Copies of this chain bind each other. A is one copy, B any other.
Amino acid sequence: MPVRTPDPDPSENDDARGARRDPLDGIGGGSTGSSANPGWLSDVELAEARRRLPMLYVEAVPVRTDGMGQVIQVGILLRATPVGEITRTIVSGRVRYGETVRDALFRHLENDLGPMAFPLLPPQPVPFTVAEYFPLPGVSAFHDDRQHAVSLAFVVPVTGTCEPRQDALEVTWLSPDEAASDAVAAEMEGGRGSLIRLALASVGALR
């Protein structure tokens, strides 16, 4: 399937469109360091920067664990692309100027999974992997035709109910084996099938 990108920030790109109220970067809820930051970029400036600098992203693989901490399910997001195609993805988004990695992670989890997901952010600041997305395929396992993005990827247990804020978005819970399958990998954007496998490996749930 056509590769696609780490989650762009629609709020910053789509202002001109008037409609399409930003589902991902709207209010910055949960972000202590980022509110009303004069340093943010206009759409044009961000588009420019994307062609000149590596963009810093966070990504999260939502999981459900049993009472002993063992991962038993993996949450995969269904999303409709602008051209109407349905793809699978994970929680993903940009780190803003002045925002901590932790705040960005929380903000994107809330945006993609809803306010009742109750994610348990890990105490450790270290991701399970660093995923590098390049505009040119083949440089790494990951690809994003719009930008060079470097993503800190975390496994995040969620304890509540996921209600994605956008209509086009749904969370499907799969067993670790299903989530690691070639079938699921083939439906995921930008090489994120590999990312799911690395996530499962980090929690000892990859066979």
A residues adjacent to B (C-beta < 8 A): 30, 33, 39-41, 45, 49, 51-56, 63, 65, 68-71, 95-103, 106, 120-130, 132, 134-135, 139-141, 148, 150, 152, 155, 157, 194, 197-198, 201-204, 206-207
Contacts and interface: CB of A to CB of B under 8 A. Distances in A.
> How many copies of this chain does one complex carry?
4
A157 B68 contact: no
A101 B130 contact: yes
A68 B101 contact: no
Contacts of A206: 194, 197-198, 201
Contact of A54 (B30, B96, B155): B96
A102 B202 CA distance: 15
B202 A69 contact: no
B53 A49 contact: yes
A132 B41 contact: no
Contacts of A155: 123-124
Contacts of A127: 126, 130
